[in-house]
Amino acid sequence: MKFSSLLFFIILISNSAFSQIKTESFFHRIKGDIIGANGLQYNIKATNVSCWLYQENYIFGGAQNVHEIAQKNLNDLLGPNAYDGFSKKMMERFINYDDIKLMKKMGFNSVRVGFSAESFYNDSSKIWLFSSLERLIPIFRENNIAIILTMMRAPKPQNKLWTSSYTKGATLLWDSEEAKQKAVSIWSEIAGHYKHEPIILGYDIINEPNISKKREKELIDLYQKISIAIRAQDQNHMIIYEGNGFGTKMDVLSKYERLLDSNGCYQFHFYSWFGNKIEKDLPKHMISARKSDRPIFCGEFGINRLSTIKSQVEFMNATTDMDGWAMYTWKTLELNLSDEERKRPPYYGKWFFIPFRDLHMSILQFYMDEEMRDVMDWLTNVKGSTKPDATTTKRVIDKIILAVDSKNCKIDNKHLEALGLRSN
């Protein structure tokens, strides 16, 4: 038996006894249920947060492409530290006290907070990430909003979508031992940092992994290595495992359930425009969870028609043994679905998830005027866009930083109602 396997076995045995003692003050698993610190069953009602601790172009109306494009263009125009400065301002402004109070008022009890592995490439960016979280953790705690920490972008792309920073020909996570080890070390550091923080619900260790079925044991192997590293630092928090196929194939988890941490749960994603059908897919996911006697929740869904969002939520809420959901997403630009807007790149016809007139993308919506959107078009390489001058670009960046403040946002009350939550 390899040393790592032996160590994991020892940890599994110790976890069984430990889970009855120490985890009582933390979120934890008892068979197929998530249990809160108060000892009661916990059903997740969460929102995802993008562009707080990592950036996505389309949240600001840019193209569906990797953020490195905007990074390069902005740095070329305003200087080598311009994008880093913008990212740090987002960490300061995108989520604040008022956002968290609104989440509580609306009926959310959790938030899925994404981050990128690149924040751990140097001490400066890592300090900004930790300080941004720690600035608001007391407010999350005060409002009983649990935090799910999620590695949205691994050290190398975990799939072939732009959301994981994939570009054509890039080396994938599964083909780089160095990148895998970096993922392990990042989670070890996070676990050591937050091992005593009870408002953290769990560690969602890789967002939407995708590896060929014949190699999917490699996904479990990486999960196992990360789990061992976490448990060496932190025996308190749940570990969250997403299925293969962008979080849509849960059978790999139930197949190798014995190799996963005993205080762990499952997570799936679904988007109807991605080909997922809740009535067909959720029963399959529940079979995997029940077979393993593990909790399971939906980590992402939404960006859809109101009627579809409402029916999906109702179906999940009515599913026995399911442990909740996290809608996508909390805050984006305000979408204009007029006929004129539909012709404007990079939106309708370019965004593959925009075939709908009745589209609802986020709970809070900030306004982007024509100047802001023109600059964002150029920053994200929209065909036909015009390069702005440095003065205009600097002004637009400052306007975006102000626009995303929750006090300047509209609330999509119809979206809240479709989720079964409280509107104003």
pLDDT confidence of residue 9 = 45
Q: How many domains does the chain have?
A: 1
Whole-number Å distance between alpha carbons of 320 and 298: 14
pLDDT confidence of residue 203 = 98
pLDDT confidence of residue 11 = 44
Tell which residue, 294, 290, 379, 365, has the closest CA to residue 334: 365
pLDDT confidence of residue 10 = 41
Give domain status of residue 10, yes or no.
Answer: no
Give domain status of residue 59, yes or no.
Answer: yes
What does the block give as tokens for 155?
Answer: 């050290």
Query: Do residues 379 and 70 make contact, with C-beta atoms less than 8 angstroms apart?
Result: yes
Query: Do residues 68 and 350 make contact, with C-beta atoms less than 8 angstroms apart?
Result: no
What CATH number is attached to the domain comprising 342? Answer: 3.20.20.80
Give domain status of residue 17, yes or no.
Answer: no
Whole-number Å distance between alpha carbons of 414 and 363: 9
Give domain status of residue 311, yes or no.
Answer: yes
Whole-number Å distance between alpha carbons of 321 and 324: 9
Range of the domain at 344: 42-419
Give domain status of residue 3, yes or no.
Answer: no
pLDDT tens, per residue, the chain with 424 residues: 444 444 444 444 444 433 333 556 899 999 999 999 999 999 999 999 999 999 999 899 888 889 999 999 999 999 999 999 999 999 999 999 999 999 999 999 999 999 999 999 999 999 999 999 999 999 999 999 999 999 999 999 999 999 999 999 999 999 999 999 999 999 999 999 999 999 999 999 999 999 999 999 999 999 999 999 999 999 999 999 999 999 999 999 999 999 999 999 999 999 988 888 899 999 999 999 999 999 999 999 999 889 999 999 999 999 999 999 999 999 999 987 766 666 665 554 455 555 557 889 999 999 999 999 999 999 999 888 999 999 999 999 999 999 999 999 999 999 999 999 987 6
Whole-number Å distance between alpha carbons of 208 and 268: 9
Give domain status of residue 22, yes or no.
Answer: no
Give domain status of residue 370, yes or no.
Answer: yes
Q: What is the pTM of this model?
A: 0.93
CA angle 34, 36, 41 (to 5 degrees): 55
Query: Which is it for strands 44-49 and 110-116: parallel, antiparallel or unpaired?
Result: parallel
Whole-number Å distance between alpha carbons of 322 and 33: 8
Whole-number Å distance between alpha carbons of 132 and 197: 15
Give domain status of residue 12, yes or no.
Answer: no
pLDDT confidence of residue 156 = 98
* Portion of the chain with pLDDT greater than 90, in percent: 82
Peptide linkage before 320 cis (omega within 30 of 0)? no
